[in-house]
Amino acid sequence: MKNNKRYIVLLIILVVFFVLMYTLIGKDSIENRKKEATILVGDGTTWEYSNNRWVNLKLESSIEKYNWKKFKVFLDNEYKDDYLVWHDDKWYLFDDNKVAQNYTENFLGINSNYDIKTKSFEVKDIENYNYVEDVFNKNDITSSTELTVNTHTEVDLDNDGQVEDIYIVSNVFPIDFEPSQVFSFVFVVKNNKIYNLYKSIEKYEGTNGTKPYINSIIDVDDDGDYEILLTCAKYSTEQPINILYKFIDNDFKILISNQ
């Protein structure tokens, strides 16, 4: 009888201990430590996320372990289906019967042990250039400069009911004009304040410069706030730059890039 009481007391102590540890460490913290994901962007970017840390895989020997693994596939930021993937010069897609699936759109693949959400967005031409002119003035660029990219996207990144404005302006890859320099700017306007994400200014040499575009609006860490996945295309067959931004400590910071 005494032994039974002793076991009951020990059991109660263990239960109380684990409840206290769970409370002190926090449910969110416990869940976050369990979250793991692999994100494929375009032809040559592979990111691993685990324990709130990011790794950019560059070696083919590190990437090939994902061959014939199943990924949720998004094309032009829209969910297509779950496909098996295989990497060679690019990521090839196959259905469950290993029948190849053709695609030409921007590719994003996600393999994770938790739900990674994406948010749809609409890209429009810029109508009000006030914020653009402010950025141009700070970088000694005239407002009459011809552009090849002038886009504006409204999206609520933090789900507070107020949209953030993403602007992309560039004069790279000109066709019918020849500038002395090529530039690209990506910035976000949040609460009437400009936050610079990406800036590139170079002397024009015919085939240089980067052309940015929003690849995805994605909640990679499942905290309810969405991150900006930016792709900066380069000339011809050069690999693009992929950068993931998150609003942290009152600024947009880079979580990871493929550089």
DSSP 111-144: EESS--EE----EEE----HHHHHHHHHTT--TT
**CB 141 within 8 Å of CB 179:** no
What DSSP designation does 16 have?
H
Q: What is the pLDDT along the chain (259 residues), one digit of tens a residue?
A: 555 555 565 556 655 555 455 555 555 554 545 899 999 999 889 999 998 899 999 888 889 999 999 999 999 999 999 999 999 989 999 999 999 999 999 999 999 999 999 999 999 999 999 999 999 999 999 989 999 999 999 999 999 999 999 999 999 999 989 999 999 999 999 999 999 999 999 999 988 999 999 999 999 999 999 999 999 998 876 889 999 999 999 999 999 999 8
Residue ranges per domain, the chain? 2-31, 35-114, 123-257
11 burial type by CB count under 10 A (0-12 exposed, 13-18 middle, 19+ buried): exposed
**CB 38 within 8 Å of CB 49:** yes
**CB 35 within 8 Å of CB 114:** yes
Classified as helix, coil or strand, 144 is: coil
Classified as helix, coil or strand, 124 is: strand
